[in-house]
Amino acid sequence: MSSLASKQGPRYRHASGEEEPYETIAVEKLTPIIGAEISGVDLGRLVSEQGSNRQMDEIHRALAENSVIFFRDQAITPAQHLAFGRKFGDLHVHPAAPHEGDDPALMKIYADKDSPRANGEGWHTDVSCDVEPPMGSILYIKQCPPRGGDTLFASMYAAYESLSDRMKAYLDGLIALHDGEPAYRGLYANMGVADRPTYPRAEHPVVRTHPVTGRKALYVNRGFTSHIIGLPRDESDAVLAYLYQHCENPLFQCRFRWTENAIAFWDNRCTQHRAMWDYWPHTRSGTRVTVKGERPV
Ligand code: SIN
């Protein structure tokens, strides 16, 4: 560690407040900044008649406080996976990815030795090219490789809060274009999905305010953001390159090591994620249910 770092401490200081205890679930934080593992809950039971509203309220709270939450050893059916998603809102149908079975809201996540790529290999926020991008995604991994296949998550609250005041002032009010076309065209050809005539594109604020927590979060990502509107292209490219690099600081991240039948539920409004495809030639598979969101402000 440099003497500067040891004298000044980390550049980003997370202000963790007094924590109110949970009564119906156990919440174990992965880092002070992002991610928590939840135990003491059976999601299959929760979505049935026997589930308690108090437990649902506490899961909502755990998501708001940690931005991404994880559950292990959940033997749920596709119908229960979909029903758990519906507890948080209407379900989103992916504009390009294949689905598992009959329900288009049950997105298929699959990579094996013959795959040319795996889903979500670069840092991104899900489908930010939609006018109303998804609020959250619930990924259920049923088959894991013996090692690897982790998912990394990064807090866009921490990324925003650690910017200099000058950079915050510069970004204030800027709007960026998010484009699905370069991201999705041809992407799922190997899974038998034909291209659509067009893909979604939308304009969103570079900094958005979370509708539940009221906190500000950076909302640009390598996967979909094409440019910042109204800036010369070279300036937009330079600013976005800086922001992407800044967002990828390990200080803002947690890393989830999957086990079979684990679930990750992330809030797309304040996180980015990246899936590690380091397990070839092994297979990793599961399904994702995505919950609709609102227009970012
Ligand atoms: C995704 O981006 O939804 C895929 C994440 C993963 O497979 O870990």
Q: Where are the domains of the chain?
A: 95-259+267-291
Structure tokens at 116: 């040319």
- In this structure, the strands spanning 253-256 and 151-155 are antiparallel
Residues with CB under 6 A from ligand 1: 109, 119-120, 137, 139, 151, 273, 275, 288
CA distance 217 to 136: 15
Candidate of 70, 110, 119 to mutate for ligand 1, largest count of ligand atoms within 8 Å of Cβ = 119
Q: Report residue 19's pLDDT band, with 50, 70 and 90 as the boundaries.
A: confident
- How confident is the model at residue 17, as a pLDDT? 67
Structure tokens at 297: 């402000």
- Burial pattern 8-25, b for ≥16 Cβ within 10 A else e, equals eeeeeebeeeeeeebeeb
Q: Report residue 145's pLDDT band, with 50, 70 and 90 as the boundaries.
A: very high
Is residue 213 scored above 70 in pLDDT? yes
The stretch 203-220 carries a mean pLDDT of 98
What backbone torsions phi and psi does residue 295 show, to the nearest 5 degrees? -70, 125
Residue 261 DSSP class = T
Residue 110: how many other CB atoms lie within 10 Å? 16
Residue-wise pLDDT for 42-91, tens only, equals 999 999 866 678 999 999 999 999 999 999 999 999 999 999 999 999 99
Q: Is 273 a catalytic residue?
A: yes
Residue-wise pLDDT for 80-109, tens only, equals 999 999 999 999 999 999 999 889 999 999
CA distance 164 to 45: 46
Question: For residue 29, what are the β-bridge partners?
Answer: 36
- How confident is the model at residue 20, as a pLDDT? 87
Q: Is 126 a catalytic residue?
A: yes
DSSP codes of every residue in 121-150? -S-B-TTTTSSS--SEEEEEEEE--SS---
Q: Is 288 a catalytic residue?
A: yes
Q: Point out the catalytic residue in the list 92, 124, 204, 227.
A: 124
CA distance 248 to 279: 22
Residue-wise pLDDT for 156-194, tens only, equals 999 999 999 999 999 999 999 999 999 999 999 988 899
Q: Is 94 a catalytic residue?
A: no
For 95-259+267-291, CATH gives: 3.60.130.10
pTM of the model: 0.94
Contact 12, 158 (CB under 8 A): yes
Residue 24 DSSP class = S
Residue-wise pLDDT for 219-275, tens only, equals 999 999 999 999 999 999 999 999 999 999 999 999 999 999 999 999 999 999 999
Residue 271: how many other CB atoms lie within 10 Å? 27
